[in-house]
Structure 1
């Protein structure tokens, strides 16, 4: 079952979404919240797999709520909004999808299909981590991280490409990795931030990790890869996370689960 939280300041909107979700047998609604503060408590208490989140709410809106949640508690998120202009901002905060009010049933079904795929991929990654630990114990070698295993895999193969061939709309661009500052995930898409422009491509973070040189590009969050050469400053945070400031002035979050990357930036 997919444990689901509904967050919306309008009771009728919550009820309407609840009725639509009742048609899906694998959805279990574990809680509802009417504002950002209630939602933060509900996430900590219920630990949902999925959250349907209204964008506009009083005091703490949907975007502020996501930024306040610890990375390990962050559920997959589908934004629900009456304003289409929020879509790009939603994807920039790594929402799985967004739905416009009133919610269309076919779009809801499409969003849930993406959620199921993301949950399956997350489970596969957890299984892969468990397998790596088992192999380390059996072989008698020190436990290796997933990044180290991927680095070993790349040395056995053809290795990272000198240039990345990416499809941007109806054109294919050969992108020099030197110009990449950071990459973040947005649903089934990645946004590649370069010195001069940004490119949105359909790919996964794992795909991109395998195509980039791990000596220069490291994953610092489940949805962020950074070019280590662009890191200007590293600041610790009270909750064990770090903030990474790039030479462009942009600030990214390094989550606790990737703390082993800190030494690469010192």
Structure 2
């Protein structure tokens, strides 16, 4: 793979052009990573609203009808519902892991299957999340182990 960067002082926005023989899995992964880099979400902590990079969100959870964004060390509340976030972040590497959880696939450190068909996910920050049997297929498909 070749990477070429052209600095154009008069250009106002970054433009990424991918030249390839064929769009394959590797190209799709690159596109997914670029999309997640560009996504922003708002999170509320205390009386302030923060602009968060979606790529830095480890997982999203809903508890008592409130939705929370979890980064490496912080937790933010969001007014968005889980299904709205799922739609927004589908192409950014997030997947449904249970009835009330979305996980950033790019922040997974390790996986461990149990005999019930569930998968224990260890995130890069050490937190552990359980992927229900119903949604474990998604991880297996992403890893090509179906």
TM-score, normalised on structure 2?
A: 0.64
- Residues 224-250 of structure 1: CA distance to partner in whole angstroms, max 9, x if unpaired? 111111111111111111111112111
SS at match of 1:212: helix
- Alpha carbons of structure 1 residues 198 and 265: separation in structure 2 relative to 1, 3 Å: farther
Match of 2:97 among 193, 204, 220: 220
Match runs of 1:1-266 below 5 Å: 162-263=39-140, 264-265=142-143
More helix by share: 1
Give me the whole-angstrom Cα distance separating, in 2, the residues matched to 1:205 and 1:218.
11
- Residues 5-42 of structure 1: CA distance to partner in whole angstroms, max 9, x if unpaired? xxxxxxxxxxxxxxxxxxxxxxxxxxxxxxxxxxxxxx
CA contact (8 A) 1:228 1:265 kept: no
More relative contact order, 1 or 2 (CA 8 Å, 6+ apart): 2
Quick check: which has more Rg, 1 or 2? Answer: 1
Give me the whole-angstrom Cα distance separating, in 2, the residues matched to 1:223 and 1:202.
15
| Paired positions, count | 108
- Residues 51-78 of structure 1: CA distance to partner in whole angstroms, max 9, x if unpaired? xxxxxxxxxxxxxxxxxxxxxxxxxxxx
CA contact (8 A) 1:188 1:202 kept: no
More strand by share: 2
SS at match of 1:259: helix
